[in-house]
Structures are given as structure tokens and as C-alpha cells.
Chain A
Amino acid sequence: MTQLTLKINGQSHSIDADPDMPLLWAIRESVGLTGTKYGCGVAQCGACTVFVGGLPVRSCSMPVSAVGADEITTIEGLKSKEALAVQKAWVKLDVPQCGYCQSGQIMSATSLLEINAKPTDRDIDLAMNGNICRCATYVRIRAAIHDAAKSLEG
């Protein structure tokens, strides 16, 4: 067990953890932020997506000790205008069904809009195909990303 300090959503958390433990469990169980989900544990589904140093990572496959001093952002800490536009579009188009994958979807969609203000369908395919939705809400995910991009045009 090792003492580690994680900076999550602007707050510092000291935790005592196995250095090999995936970041996912530190976020969910040590810190108690449960919006980030466990879906596969092997970087296949994207349900565990968070930002580390501003970039999306699969937290199920990153050892907690590898984070270092990088800032972590979870679904609970989203603040950028892109993130808010994405969340608004998700509600407007009633994207979620069971909802379990949607934190991960929203993290990936936010990241896409932060680097590409006007994504094409192909850009969306490339950015989002690491996120599985077993309820297959993909039609609305695509529509909501376009909708969010449009709303950001002002």
C-alpha cells in the first residue's frame, strides 16, 4: 500500500492504495465519485473514461500510481463550455436509456468537441467508437454531438 495524492476536479485527495490498483477504483471507491463506471476493466467499453491532464483515458486500465501530479477530471467535475453544451444536448434529445455508459460517452464527446468544434460523422465515429452502449443509443449520441456543436457556434 502506498500513500498517494490525487487531484480530482480541483480537489486534492490523499489515499492509501495498492499502486497497481486501477485509477477507476480510486475514483469510485477511495474518493467516492461514482459517476465514472466499471463496464469491462480491459479498455474495451469506455464506461470508465476520465480526463487525466486534459486528455481522455480509460481509468480501468491506468494504475493509480501512474497518474502522478496530473489533474483528473470526472463527469462530476465537467465545467468547460463544450461539456455543458454536450450535457444539454444529451438531455434535450433524451439520449440515455439505462444511462450506465453515458458518463463515458459524455467524456468522449466533450473531448472531441474541445479539439474539433465541427466534427463530421466520420470524426464522430473515430472519437466515439471506443465507447460501447449496449442499449445502442448511438443514433441519438451522434445527433446530440451535432446539436452541441451547433449550439457552440453561438
Chain B
Amino acid sequence: MPANSWTPDQPIVAIHDLHKSFGALEVLKGVSLEVMKGEVICIIGPSGSGKSTLIRCINALNPVDSGSILVEGQEVNDPAVDKLALRKKVGMVFQQYNLFPHKTALQNVMMAPLKVLKQPRGEVEKRARALLTRVNLEGKEDSYPGELSGGQQQRVAIARSLAMNPDVMLFDEVTAALDPETVKEVLVAIKDLAQSGMTCILVTHEMGFAREVADHIYFTDRGVIVEHGPPATFFTESSDPRTREFLSQIL
């Protein structure tokens, strides 16, 4: 393996000509995008266009067929890739929260640093409590996921992922399963994170939110990136008819 010569002025995630099929169904048909450190990008597009598949490839939850994904200069599409090392750098939050139901909120946050990173308990607990406070869940440390609302669970999931001190965070439609009242509290937590300089790749249907926090917006349809640009121009000057149609439906 070549020496990793990545420096922070290069893209932290660089995807080039990514192809991925499930059986006969080609879901990603040559996707390329680049994310710089500290950038927030939003991926939008109709359901089934391959957004989840794309971001699940970044932390190797989905194997890819061809193309390249570099995360801090490391090739993910390489059978020899150290997946555990990759996943320590890339955190992920899911639409369905996927908290561990047999553990309290605090234990959910502490588990990976304790068992995976083998960090000392006292230090981990201090950090976990601080993270839960940061996502506005002070007082919920000892609640089980089943006792929390969807929005609260999703914020625990964000804290759980942050506890690994990742360099990049992936969010896959994290507010799509929530009641409208609780969407905002989750978006607030993500916005706070984005503004603190965390590199974020978000799949979202919240256009107002995307416009507010994103540095760059990508529009996908049927496995390709149709159009992309900074929000200021994306929403007003997008030219592709598919983008226009999608935006007219959702805005």
C-alpha cells in the first residue's frame, strides 16, 4: 500500500466514477463528488435514486462494483481496506436511529469508545455526558431508547456517532421518520455540528435546511448526479428539467 500522502487541503472524501448494482439493477451509474474538510454537502433527489446507497458506500457498508472512493486519501474500494479504521473516521446516522434498545442513552453513547477504542471508562463517561448535553438531552442519560421520542432517539444516535470523534459524518434522511414537531430539534443539533466545523454529508428532503447549512448541493436522479452547485445558485438557477421538476414538487 502506498504511503498515505493526504493533506487537509485535499478533499477529505473524493468519489470518482462510482458504479454499484444490486443484481441486475444498476443503482449508481458513475457518480463523482468531492468534499473538502469542514464542508457540509447535501444530497437531494427523488426516492430510489441511489442516495442511501451512495453514502453507505463511503463507510463500506455497501461494497461497490467499480470506481474510487478516497477517504482521507485511503481507497475504500480495495479488498485490503481496513474497514474498522475507516469507520472510526466516518460516523453515520440512520433514518431509523438504530439505537441499541437494551442500553440506556448514556450506555449507547459510551459503548463504542469503550469496546472499540478501549478508552478508559471515566474519560468516556465524561465525554458521553457532555455530548448528550450538547444535543440537548441532559437528564435523559438513563432513559432507554423505548422511553424516548423519535427526535430524542435520533439525537442520542448523533451523540453516539460523535463519541467516536469522527472526521466525517454521514446522515441518511435522519428526519424522514420523525414527527414534524421533533424534526426541528434534530436539525438544530445537526446545524450546531455543521457550524462547529464538522465535515457533513447529508441526504435530506428538508430543502430549507439544506439551503441554510449546505456549502454545496448535489441533485441525484436514477443513479447519476444531474446537477450540483452552491445553494445560492442551485435553487434559483438550476437548468436541468429533472431538477426543476423535483424542486417544484418539494418546495
Is B truly associated with A? no
Residues of B within 8 A of A (CB): none
Question: A residues engaging B (CB < 8 A)?
Answer: none
